[in-house]
Amino acid sequence: MGKILIVYASRADETKGIAEVIGEGVRSSGHEAIVKKTSEIKGEEDLKGYDGYAFGSATYHGEMITSMKQILFIAERAELKDKPGGSFGAYGWSGEAAVRIFDTMHHIYKMKMVAGPLMLKASWVEGGIEAAQEYGKSIAAMI
């Protein structure tokens, strides 16, 4: 059984909801999912010891939330190379945050990423629950 860390930054709890449903997908695959808010990560040691990762942030005015940017700086020192990963986020009209997180994980950290970022208006809108569960399963399948 693998252990996947899901870290999120959320303004209105939509991204939190997506993180929790991704965790359900991971658990239904027989793995452990740990869901944490960005404020629970203090340093690179808090990111070590996991078999896979999903980082997510809402997009706000075309940007990811500042606390997720801080996590991405911390993660540079956490030795994530070749670990399975994915990114996600809620958005109103654009969704750049999930794409930027995905690109950072793939190109900077050299992680083994799922097919692409998961971008949803909310977990409960337009098949979002199923999409988020499948995303969690996709990350779990890489372990």
User: 31 is written with which tokens?
Assistant: 């793995």
Beta bridge partners of residue 84, listed in sequence order: 112
The H or E element that residue 54 is part of is strand 52-57
Residue 93 pLDDT more than 90? no
User: 25 is written with which tokens?
Assistant: 């997908």
pLDDT score for 82: 98
Per-residue pLDDT band at 125 (split at 50, 70, 90): confident
Pure H helices in the chain: 14-28, 66-75, 96-103, 128-141
3-class secondary-structure state, position 119: strand
What is the DSSP annotation of 85-104?
EEEEEE-SS--HHHHHHHHI
Query: What is the model's pTM?
Result: 0.96
> Which domains are delineated in the chain?
3-141 (3.40.50.360)
Residue 46 pLDDT more than 90? yes
Segment 63-74, tens digit of pLDDT = 999 999 999 999
